[in-house]
Amino acid sequence: MALKFFNTLSRSVQEFVPRDPNGKSVGLYCCGPTVHDFAHIGNFRTFVFADLLRRHLQFKGFSVRHVMNVTDVEDKIIKRVRENHASLRDYTAKYEAAFFEDFDALNCLRPTAAPRASEHIAEIIALIEKLVARGVAYRAADGSVYFSIQKYQARGCRYGQLLNLNFEEMRPGARVSSDEYAKEAVADFALWKSRVPDDGAVFWPSPWGEGRPGWHIECSAMSMDALGPSFDLHTGGEDLIFPHHEDEIAQSEGAGERAAGEPFVKYWMHGAHLLVEGQKMSKSLGNYFTLRDLLAKGFTGRQVRYLLLTAHYRESFNFTLEGLQGARAALARIDECVGKLAEFAPAAENAPAEPGVLRRFVEAMDEDLNVAAAWGAIFEWIRETNIELAANRITPARAATLFAAWQRMNEVLGLPTKPENEMGEKPDPTLQKFLEDRAAARKAKDFKRSDAIRDELKAKGWTIEDTPKGPRLKRL
C-alpha cells in the first residue's frame, strides 16, 4: 500500500514520493518553539504529530533529516529581555532547555539539527539581499526592508498557494505589530526591521542599518541552509498556514534559487487546533496547561503522549484531565498484555513479528497517519491475545512473534517503557504466603479453602491472576 499524506498545498491526500531520485532520503522541516516561555500542551500536540510522522517515515525505510528551528529573536522575546534586564541568550537559554526537557519527557526524537535564528543572521541577511536584488523586496525610509507582494506577483509568481486570500483586507493573524512601518502596500511584510529604542541590545548590523530579522524570513533562511532550496516536507500547526508559511513560500521561491517549476516544499502538513476542557486555552479559564503542570498533577509524559496520539492530527482535539485518566487505563491494558507476552516469550530478539496486526497497523498509518484505525487494530489484537492467553493457547514461540509485532508498532508510536511510577504498587512480601497456601489447597482439591484465600486477598485489595508462568498477585 502506498504511503499517503494530506498536502495543504494541493488540498488533497497524495501519495508520498520523496524528491530523492533513489527514494531513500527525506528532508523534513518542523516549525519549532518560540522560547519566550514554557511551551504549552497545544504546542506539544504539533511536535508529537511531527515526531509520529518522522517515526513512521523511518519505519518505512526512509532516512530522515529532521530540522526544527528555535525562534529566539521575536517581539515577545525582546519585550521579556527588556523587562528582565537580561541578555538575549541568557533569557532564551532557560526556556530552550526547558522545552527540550519536555520534548524528551514526551519521548520525541531529537531533531537532526535545531538551528537558532540568532545564529543565522548572516544567512538571513544574504537571503534578503537576494530578494532586494531581484526586485521583490524594498528598503523603506527608516531602513526596514519589506517583501512586496505586488512585485512578486508581477514576476509571474503566485501568492496564496496554501489558501485563498483577499488582498483588500488587512493581513489577518499578523505576528507583530511592529510590521507597520512605511510599507508600500498593506499586504507587504517585514524582512528586516530597523532598530527602535525598545529593541535594547537586540540588534545586528546590516546593509540597511542596525536592526533585526522579521519572523518569517528566519525560517526560510534556516530551512534552506539546512535542507537546500527545495525539500520534501514542512510541518506546523494550522495557525501557521497564514501568514507564516505563505510568506515562507514567497520569500524562498522569490529568491530564485531553485529550478523552474520546482516548489520550495513539496508537501505541507498541518496539525489542527487543540481544545482544553472543551475551550480554547486561557489562563483566565484555568485550562492553560504546560507539560510541567500536568506532571505536577501526577500524570506522566507517557500518558500525555498517548492521549495526544489518539486523535488524527488534522482533527481538532479536546484534551481533558478525564482523558488523561483514560490514557492511564488504556496504557495499563496494553502493558498488562504486552507484559504477559514478554514473560512468556523466549529470549529471542530476532523473532519475526506476527503479520496480521502489523499489516493492519501499517495500512492505517500509511493512510495519512490514521491513528484512530491504528489504535483500533491494536486494541482488537489485545482483546484477541488476552483470550488466547487466558485459555493457555499461546506457545512461547507465538508469544515471541506477538511481542515482536508490538515492538515494531511501537517504533512508530514511540511509547516509552513503563516508568517506575506507573509500575503499580508491589504486594507486601507477607502476601506471598497466600499464593503458596492457595496452591497447596488446589493441589489437595480443597477448593473451599482455595476460594476463601481468594476472598481474603480481595478484602485486602488484591486478586490472584493465573499466568503462563504461574499465579501472581495483582492490585484491584
For residue 155, give the nearest of 262, 255, 244, 265 by alpha carbon.
255
pLDDT class of 181 with cuts at 50, 70, 90? very low
* Cα angle value 83/289/371 (rounded, 5°): 130
Residue 175 predicted with pLDDT over 50: no
Residue 73 predicted with pLDDT over 90: yes
Phi, psi (rounded to 5 degrees) for 380: -70, -40
For residue 140, give the nearest of 81, 108, 188, 187 by alpha carbon.
188
Burial class (CB in 10 A: 0-12, 13-18, 19+), 459: exposed
- Complete DSSP assignment for 94-136: HHHHHHHHHHHHTTPPPPSB--BGGG-HHHHHHHHHHHHHTTS
- Residues with Cβ within 8 Å of 226's Cβ and at least 6 positions away in sequence, in order, are 29, 65, 67, 113, 115
The cell numbers describing 407, all together, are 515492538
Q: Which residues are 267's β-sheet partners?
A: 233
Query: According to the model, what pLDDT value does residue 183 have?
Result: 82
CA 236 to chain centre: 9
Q: What is the mean pLDDT of residues 233-244?
A: 97
Q: What is the mean pLDDT of residues 355-369?
A: 97
Residue 331 predicted with pLDDT over 80: yes
- C-beta separation of 97 from 296 below 8 A: no
Map grid coordinates 489562563 to a residue.
283
CA distance 198 to 227: 34
For residue 256, give the nearest of 152, 406, 142, 389 by alpha carbon.
152
Q: Which residues are 465's β-sheet partners?
A: 472
> What are the helix (H) ranges across 186-286?
215-227, 246-254
For residue 473, give the nearest of 439, 432, 430 by alpha carbon.
432
CA distance 309 to 20: 29
For residue 303, give the nearest of 411, 383, 422, 403 by alpha carbon.
422
Instruction: Please indicate whether residue 106 or residue 171 has the higher confidence score (pLDDT).
Output: 106
The pLDDT > 70 percentage for the chain reads: 92
Map grid coordinates 519585550 to a residue.
79
- Complete DSSP assignment for 408-419: HHHHHH-PPPPP
CA distance 91 to 77: 8
Count of H-run helices and E-run strands, the chain: 15, 14
What is the CB-side half-sphere exposure of residue 177 using CA atoms within 13 A? 2
* Cis, bond preceding 243 (omega within 30 deg of 0): yes
Q: What is the mean pLDDT of residues 67-83?
A: 97
CA distance 211 to 178: 12
- Complete DSSP assignment for 264-295: SEEEEEEEPPEEETTB---GGGT---BHHHHH
Query: According to the model, what pLDDT value does residue 170 have?
Result: 46
- C-beta separation of 243 from 250 below 8 A: no
Phi, psi (rounded to 5 degrees) for 209: 110, 175
pLDDT tens readout for residues 88-125: 999 999 999 999 999 999 999 999 999 999 999 999 99
First to last CA, the chain: 43
pLDDT class of 262 with cuts at 50, 70, 90? very high
pLDDT class of 419 with cuts at 50, 70, 90? low
